[in-house]
Amino acid sequence: MTDITSFDAAEDRATTNSIPRNPPQRALHLHRELGRVWANDKGFWGQITAVSHTTLGLRFMATAFVFFAIGGILSMLIRAQLATHQGAFLDTEIYNQIFTMHGSIMMFLFAIPMLEGLAIWLLPKMLGTRDMAFPRLTSLGYWCYLFGGLIMLTALLFGVAPRDGWFMYTPLASAVHSPGINADVWLLGVTFVEISAIAAAVEITVTILRQRAPGMKLTEMPLFAWYMLGTSAMMLVGFPPLIAGSVLLELERAFGWPFFDPTRGGDPLLWQHLFWLFGHPEVYIIFLPAAGVMSMIIPVMCRTKILGYGAIVAAVLGLVFLSFGLWVHHMFTVGIPHMALAFFSAASVLVAVPTAVQVFAWIGTMWKGQPQLHLPMYHILGFFLTFVMGGLTGVMLAIVPFNWQAHDTAFVTAHLHYVLIGGFVFPMMAAVTYWMPLITGRRRIKGLGETAFWVIVVGFHGTFFIMHLTGLMGMPRRIDIYPDNPEWVWLNLTSSIFSFVLTIGFAMFALDLLLQIFLGKRESRDPWEAPTLDWAMPLPSPNYNYASLPTLRDLDKPARDVILPLARGEGALPGAPRGRREFLVTRAINAEPDHVAILPGNTALPLVLSASIGVFVLLMLASLYLLAAFALLPVAALIWVWVRAMAPSGDLRPIEIAPGTSLPVHHHARQSLAQSGLNALLVADGTLFASLIFGLAFLSVVTQGPAAPPAGAHTMASLVALGVIGVVMMIAAWIATGIGRGTAQLGVVLNIVALVVLTWLALTQMDDPTVHARDALRAAVAGYVALHVIVAAGMAAFVADQYRRGEITAQIHGGYPGWRKWQSFTTATTLIAIAILLAQVFA
pLDDT tens digits along 414-425: 999 999 999 999
Give pLDDT, residue 8.
Answer: 41
- Write the burial class of residue 724 (CB in 10 Å: 0-12 exposed, 13-18 middle, 19+ buried): middle
The angle at the Cα of 415, spanning 414 to 419, to the nearest 5 degrees, equals: 115
Spacing of C-alpha 17 from chain mean position: 35
- Write the burial class of residue 446 (CB in 10 Å: 0-12 exposed, 13-18 middle, 19+ buried): exposed
pLDDT in tens, 73-84: 999 999 999 999
Give pLDDT, residue 271.
Answer: 96
Q: What percent of the chain has pLDDT over 90?
A: 77
Residue 18, pLDDT above cutoff 70:
no
Band (pLDDT 50/70/90 cuts) for residue 761 is: confident
Q: Do 778 and 257 form a contact (C-beta atoms < 8 A)? A: no
Output the 3-class SS for 154-187: HHHHCCCCCCCCCCCCCCCCCCCCCCCCHHHHHH
Average pLDDT over residues 210-222: 93
d(CA 60, CA 132): 14
pLDDT in tens, 640-688: 999 998 888 888 899 999 998 999 999 988 899 999 999 999 999 999 9
pLDDT in tens, 329-375: 889 999 888 888 898 899 888 988 999 999 999 999 999 999 999 99
pLDDT in tens, 310-334: 999 999 999 999 989 888 888 999 9
Q: Do 331 and 403 form a contact (C-beta atoms < 8 A)? A: no
Residue 3, pLDDT above cutoff 60:
no
Give pLDDT, residue 687.
Answer: 97
Q: Do 172 and 252 form a contact (C-beta atoms < 8 A)? A: no
Average pLDDT over residues 277-285: 90
H or E stretch covering 345? helix 338-350
Band (pLDDT 50/70/90 cuts) for residue 575 is: very high
By DSSP bridging, strand 581-586 and strand 661-663 are unpaired
Helix, strand, coil percent content, the chain, rounded in steps of 5: 70, 5, 30
pLDDT in tens, 697-707: 998 887 766 76
Query: What global pTM score does this model have?
Result: 0.95
Give pLDDT, residue 498.
Answer: 97
CA-based nearest residue to 761, from 722, 712, 723: 722
- Write the burial class of residue 338 (CB in 10 Å: 0-12 exposed, 13-18 middle, 19+ buried): exposed
Is the four-CA dihedral 514, 515, 516, 517 of positive or negative sign? positive
d(CA 520, CA 512): 10
Give pLDDT, residue 326.
Answer: 86
Mean pLDDT of the chain: 91
d(CA 766, CA 715): 9
- Write the burial class of residue 1 (CB in 10 Å: 0-12 exposed, 13-18 middle, 19+ buried): exposed
d(CA 520, CA 288): 31
Give pLDDT, residue 543.
Answer: 94
Total residue length of the chain: 843
Give pLDDT, residue 838.
Answer: 83
Residue 15, pLDDT above cutoff 80:
no
Give pLDDT, residue 54.
Answer: 96
Band (pLDDT 50/70/90 cuts) for residue 6 is: very low
Give pLDDT, residue 657.
Answer: 93
Average pLDDT over residues 569-594: 94
Give pLDDT, residue 225.
Answer: 97
Residue 29, pLDDT above cutoff 90:
yes
pLDDT in tens, 128-164: 999 999 999 999 999 999 999 999 999 999 999 999 9
Residue 478, pLDDT above cutoff 50:
yes
Question: Which CA distances in Å does 496 have to 72, 79, 89, 507, 829?
Answer: 13, 5, 13, 17, 52
Give pLDDT, residue 2.
Answer: 31
Residue 306 bridge partners (DSSP): none
Band (pLDDT 50/70/90 cuts) for residue 11 is: very low
Give pLDDT, residue 709.
Answer: 67
